């Protein structure tokens, strides 16, 4: 089966369901990630993606999982790539390796400042913004390219209009589609979509959904991402603060309702932040019965 396919072409035919994984801290964790990927393959994802670590050996694991997913799971893959801690030449070399392995899709990101710092500073000879990385990729390679967007605004943005201006620049620099930061109130996605269209951004904007795995996890992630927790969800998180199993089951119901509404409103796909665990996303897709994405054993 030929899996060389650009996601922008998938988007013209269907509304993709996709899963995002992250590289483990040590090589011993790789088989576990691949096992989850194979389990979730039963739900026929249109593509999977693998995040790019903040540095060190996890970056090699990103490549390993990306290549393995293509080889053994025969599923389309989108490799994440950031501007953190690498020169343009080093990033170019990563792109060449991805290209040599037949990877067709990349999501171009800036990456976060290192822990404890609020300002992103590129290494000497590195890229400053995702827009610069995008331009480099489009000028030198044939990858299909995605970029990130933030329905509630990026945490460093002065305001939503400034943020939108840079999202538009990502699209002008070649982003075929956008994937959103997590959000728990669909209103932010609908508002962002409206502002994006009014601002001349016409590419598909795929909502990113993170099912609740535990109360503490959501509190931590939303502080980092700047996403609001709606009052009804906040109450449930308090209720299950010391009961992760119940929080996770509540999260399945919450995300099922969230995705159902997004899907019914015509969202061009859904990207699940899987966090390398199959339980929640399996249950959500069992609940939703999206055509082509129910369990195939
Ligand atoms: C779908 C998705 C996937 C992600 N995957 C990863 C991953 O694999 N690895 C990882 O480390 N992180 C990942 N992140 C997190 C991401 O790296 C951070 O959110 C980071 O802080 C911003 O990345 P960006 O690509 O949006 O940066 P940028 O687009 O560069 O934006 C960063 C800030 O600068 C502003 N800005 C943008 N362009 C310009 C410009 N040209 N001039 C001036 N200001 C500008 C923006 O408004 C924003 O405030 C992901 C986020 C999302 C939503």
36-53, pLDDT tens digit by residue? 999 999 999 999 999 998
Backbone angles phi, psi at 79, to 5 degrees: -85, 135
Topology, domain 7-212+248-288 = TIM Barrel (3.20.20)
Give yes or no for a contact between 120 and 82, defined as CB atoms under 8 angstroms apart. Answer: no
If you measure from the C-alpha of residue 29 to the centroid of ligand 1, how many angstroms do you get, rounded to a whole number? 27
Which pLDDT belongs to residue 117?
80
* Residue nearest atom 15 of ligand 1, based on CA coordinates: 111
Q: Locate the domains of the chain by residue range.
A: 7-212+248-288
If you measure from the C-alpha of residue 131 to the centroid of ligand 1, how many angstroms do you get, rounded to a whole number? 9
Kindly indicate the confidence band of residue 118, based on its pLDDT and cuts at 50, 70 and 90.
Answer: confident
Place of tokens 């540095």: 55
Share of the chain above pLDDT 70, in %: 99
From the CA of 52, give the closest atom in ligand 1.
8
- Whole-number Å distance between alpha carbons of 149 and 224: 15
From the CA of 130, give the closest atom in ligand 1.
30
Residue 89 is a catalytic residue = no
Q: 92 pLDDT exceeds 90?
A: yes
Transcribe the chain into DSSP letters: ------HHHHHHH---EEEEE---SSGGGHHHHHHHHHHHHTT--SEEEEPPPSSTTHHHHHHHHHHHHHHHS---EEEEE--TT--HHHHHHHHHHHHHTT--EEEE---PPPTT--S--PPTT--SSHHHHHHHHHHH---EEEEEE-TT--TT-SSHHHHHHHHHHHHHTT-SEEEEEE-S-HHHHHHHHHHHHHTT--S-EEEEE-----HHHHHHHHHHHTPPPPHHHHHHHHHTTT-HHHHHHHHHHHHHHHHHHHHHTT-S-EEEE-TT--HHHHHHHHHH--TT-S---
Residues 6+ apart with CB under 8 A from 179: 107, 146, 147, 148, 149, 205, 206, 208, 271
Share of the chain above pLDDT 90, in %: 91
Of 47-61, 93-107, 227-241, 273-287, least confident by mean pLDDT is 47-61
Residue of 77, 81, 84, 111 with the most ligand 1 atoms within 8 Å of its CB, for mutation: 111
If you measure from the C-alpha of residue 167 to the centroid of ligand 1, how many angstroms do you get, rounded to a whole number? 10
- Residues lining ligand 1, CB < 6 A? 51-52, 54, 80, 82, 107, 109-112, 129-131, 148, 154, 156-157, 162-163, 166, 169, 179, 181, 208
Give yes or no for a contact between 153 and 163, defined as CB atoms under 8 angstroms apart. Answer: yes
* Residue 18: Cβ-neighbour burial (10 angstroms; 0-12, 13-18, 19+): buried
From the CA of 162, give the closest atom in ligand 1.
47
144-176, pLDDT tens digit by residue? 999 999 999 999 999 999 999 999 999 999 999
C-alpha distances (whole Å) from 239 to each of 81, 183, 280 are 38, 20, 19
Kindly indicate the confidence band of residue 4, based on its pLDDT and cuts at 50, 70 and 90.
Answer: low
Give yes or no for a contact between 270 and 263, defined as CB atoms under 8 angstroms apart. Answer: yes
From the CA of 148, give the closest atom in ligand 1.
53
Place of tokens 């601002």: 199
Mean pLDDT score of the chain, rounded to an integer? 95
Give, in degrees to the nearest 5, the angle at Cα 157 between 225 and 122: 85
Kindly indicate the confidence band of residue 119, based on its pLDDT and cuts at 50, 70 and 90.
Answer: confident
Which pLDDT belongs to residue 250?
98
Which pLDDT belongs to residue 1?
43
If you measure from the C-alpha of residue 133 to the centroid of ligand 1, how many angstroms do you get, rounded to a whole number? 11
If you measure from the C-alpha of residue 181 to the centroid of ligand 1, how many angstroms do you get, rounded to a whole number? 10
Q: 2 pLDDT exceeds 70?
A: no
């Amino acid at each position: 089966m030929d899996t060389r396919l650009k996601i922008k072409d998938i988007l013209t035919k269907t509304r993709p369901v996709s899963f995002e994984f992250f590289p483990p801290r040590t090589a011993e964790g790789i088989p576990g990630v691949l096992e989850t990927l194979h389990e979730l393959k039963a739900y026929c994802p249109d593509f999977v993606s693998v995040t790019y670590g903040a540095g060190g050996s996890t970056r090699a694991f990103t490549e390993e999982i990306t290549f393995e997913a293509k080889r053994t799971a025969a599923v389309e893959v989108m490799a994440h790539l950031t501007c953190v801690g690498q020169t343009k030449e080093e990033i170019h070399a990563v792109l060449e390796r991805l290209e040599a392995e037949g990877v067709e899709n990349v999501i171009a990101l800036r990456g976060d400042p290192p822990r404890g710092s609020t300002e992103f500073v590129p290494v000497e000879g590195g890229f400053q913004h995702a827009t610069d990385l995008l331009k480099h990729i489009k000028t030198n390679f044939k990858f299909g390219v995605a970029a990130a967007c933030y329905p509630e605004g990026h945490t460093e943005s002065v305001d939503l209009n400034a943020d939108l201006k840079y999202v538009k620049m990502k699209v002008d620099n070649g982003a075929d589609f956008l994937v959103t930061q997590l959000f728990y109130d669909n209103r932010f996605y609908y508002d962002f979509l409206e502002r994006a269209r009014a601002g001349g951004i016409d590419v598909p904007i795929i909502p990113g959904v993170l099912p609740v795995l535990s109360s503490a996890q959501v509190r931590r992630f939303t502080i980092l991402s700047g996403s609001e927790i709606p009052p009804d969800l906040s109450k449930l998180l308090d209720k299950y603060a010391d009961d992760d199993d119940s929080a996770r089951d509540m999260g399945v119901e919450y995300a099922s309702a969230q995705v159902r509404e997004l899907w019914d409103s015509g969202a061009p796909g859904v990207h699940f932040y899987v966090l390398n665990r199959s339980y929640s996303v399996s249950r959500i897709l069992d609940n939703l019965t999206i055509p082509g994405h129910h369990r195939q054993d």
